[in-house]
């Protein structure tokens, strides 16, 4: 295979990988879009209850986690820029930083969930059953949507961890980094979803 034919094959494979990722991201947006619509409907139905239930959440933790994820999006971008420049060491350092920030997010979220469980504010709990129906709906949506987002964070960390391994083994290089780009796109989606979740729940009061 000539050099030009090889380059064309690589370009075609990269295009297919990018297209596949964007199609996957569309399905993710449809999933969360449906949940956002459900939230909007329920909030219009129970405005006072949602307002009161939102006051039970810790806005400081929510905002802190937002800053953590925004910073992690920056480090993903810096990792991609570094690999484009052929700097594998910096790429690995930025990816490792992203992984660390993602873990910080999960730790904060775990602490927050543990507090809600301690106070009996979780689905099917005896205490939650005594609250108005609108507040029960609020916490049901809260655990469903933040829990689903948490699973996406874990998936994103797994993907970026694998990308770090590929960089370390020389499988992602200055000339072939489409997989890292796709991993970064997925991570950005995780961040964007959280940016929507923040005002819906933590700033609902």
pLDDT, tens digit, for every residue of 38-74?
999 999 999 999 999 999 999 999 999 999 999 999 9
Say if residue 135's pLDDT is above 50.
yes
Residue 153 sits in a domain whose CATH number is 1.20.120.80
pLDDT tier at 151, thresholds 50, 70, 90: very high
Residue 25, pLDDT score: 82
Structure token digits, residue 157: 């960390």
Under DSSP, the state recorded for 201 is I
Mean pLDDT over 142-152 rounds to 96
Range with lowest mean pLDDT among 10-24, 38-52, 184-198: 10-24
Structure token digits, residue 100: 């660390």
Please give the full DSSP string across 109-174, using - where no structure is assigned: HHHHHHHHHHTT-STT-HHHHTS-HHHHHHHHHHHHHHHHHHHHHHHHHHHHHHHHHHHHTTSS-S
pTM of the model: 0.88
pLDDT tier at 4, thresholds 50, 70, 90: very low
Total number of domains constituting the chain: 1
Say if residue 10's pLDDT is above 80.
no
Q: Measuring CA to CA, which residue among 26, 104, 100 is closest to residue 66?
A: 104
Residue ranges making up the domain that contains 123: 3-202
Mean pLDDT over 145-151 rounds to 96
The pLDDT > 70 percentage for the chain reads: 92
């Amino acid at each position: 295979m000539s050099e030009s034919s090889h380059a064309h094959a690589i370009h075609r494979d990269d295009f297919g990988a990018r297209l596949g990722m964007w199609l996957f991201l569309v399905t993710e947006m449809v999933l969360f879009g449906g949940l956002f619509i459900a939230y909007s409907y329920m909030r219009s139905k129970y405005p006072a209850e949602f307002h009161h239930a939102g006051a039970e959440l810790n806005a400081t933790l929510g905002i802190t986690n937002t800053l953590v994820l925004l910073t992690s999006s920056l480090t993903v971008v810096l990792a991609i820029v570094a690999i484009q420049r052929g700097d594998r060491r910096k790429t690995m350092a930025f990816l490792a930083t992203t992984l660390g920030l993602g873990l910080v997010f999960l730790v904060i979220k775990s602490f927050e969930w543990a507090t809600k469980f301690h106070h009996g504010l979780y689905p099917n709990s005896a205490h939650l059953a005594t609250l108005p129906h609108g507040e029960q709906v609020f916490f049901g949506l809260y655990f469903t949507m933040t829990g689903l987002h948490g699973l996406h964070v874990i998936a994103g960390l797994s993907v970026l961890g694998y990308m770090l391994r590929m960089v370390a083994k020389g499988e992602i290089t200055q000339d072939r980094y489409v997989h890292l780009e796709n991993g970064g796109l997925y991570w950005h989606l995780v961040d964007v979803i959280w940016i929507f979740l923040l005002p819906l729940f933590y700033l609902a009061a």
